[in-house]
Amino acid sequence: MGMLRTVLRILITSAGLALWELFLKDIYVGWLQASGKAYGFGEAMLGYFTILFGSYLFSIILTRKIDDKEVEN
């Protein structure tokens, strides 16, 4: 299960990054510009950190539920 868990976590994190690049980044940059702020290194880092952290937490929760179901069986 260890290798499957790792691959699943990587896939979930990749999906989060793709979601960021395709949909959420433009919304974030638009919000920053509407607020009169520039999109620079710090803002980019904050966006990527937020997505990576959220995706990683989601993957931990999901794989924990899968591990719990395996223990029951």
Report how far residue 32's alpha carbon sits from residue 17's, in angstroms, rounded to the nearest whole number: 19
CA angle 7, 3, 21 (to 5 degrees): 10
Please work out, in degrees rounded to the nearest 5, the angle formed at the alpha carbon of residue 61 by the alpha carbons of 56 and 64.
120
Which residue is listed with tokens 């793709």?
A: 18
Predicted confidence (pLDDT) per residue in 10-60, tens digit: 999 999 999 999 999 999 999 999 999 999 999 999 999 999 999 999 999
Query: What pLDDT sits at residue 63?
Result: 86
Cα separation, 73 vs 71, whole angstroms: 5
| Whole-number Å distance between alpha carbons of 16 and 10 | 10
The pTM of this model reads 0.80
Q: Is the pLDDT of residue 71 over 90?
A: no
